[in-house]
Amino acid sequence: MHGSLILEIDLDKIKYNTSQVVERCHRKGIEVIGVTKGFSAIPQIASAMVEGGIDGLADSRMENIIELRNKGFTQPITLLRIPRLSNVMQVVQYTDTSINSEITVIKALDQAAKKLKKEHQIILMVDVGDLREGVLQENVLDIAKQITSFKAIKLVGLGTNIGCFGGILPSSNNLGILVELGHAVENQLGLRLEIISGGGTSTLLLIGNAEIPAGINQLRIGEGILLGTDTTNNRKIPWLHQDAFLLRAEVIEVKSKPSIPTGAIGRDAFGNIPEFTDIGVRKRAIVSMGKQDVNIEGIRPIDERLAILGASSDHLIIDIEDSEQEIKVGDVIIFSLAYSGLLSVSDSKYVRKHFKGSSSANDET
Catalytic residues, by residue number, are 37
Rounded-to-integer distance, Cα 208 and Cα 203, Å: 9
Rounded-to-integer distance, Cα 272 and Cα 222, Å: 32
What's the CA angle centered on 246, arms 45 and 43, to 5 degrees?
15
Rounded-to-integer distance, Cα 357 and Cα 190, Å: 49
Whose CA is closest to 290, among 310, 305, 260? Answer: 310
Encode 266-287: b = buried (16+ Cβ within 10 Å), e = exposed.
Answer: eeeeeeeeeeeeeeeebebbbb
Q: Is 357 exposed, middle or buried (0-12, 13-18, 19+ CB in 10 A)?
A: middle
Quick check: 181 and 140 in contact, CB under 8 A?
yes
Rounded-to-integer distance, Cα 300 and Cα 198, Å: 31
Q: 182: part of which helix (H) or strand (E)?
A: helix 172-189
Quick check: 11 and 48 in contact, CB under 8 A?
yes
293 Cβ partners below 8 Å, 6+ apart? 5, 344, 345, 348, 350, 351
Quick check: 316 and 287 in contact, CB under 8 A?
yes
Quick check: 361 and 16 in contact, CB under 8 A?
no
Task: Extract the runs of DSSP E, i.e. beta strands, from the chain.
Answer: 6-10, 31-35, 56-59, 77-79, 97-100, 120-125, 153-159, 195-197, 218-221, 229-230, 235-236, 245-258, 281-287, 299-301, 307-311, 316-319, 332-337, 352-356
Rounded-to-integer distance, Cα 40 and Cα 18, Å: 17
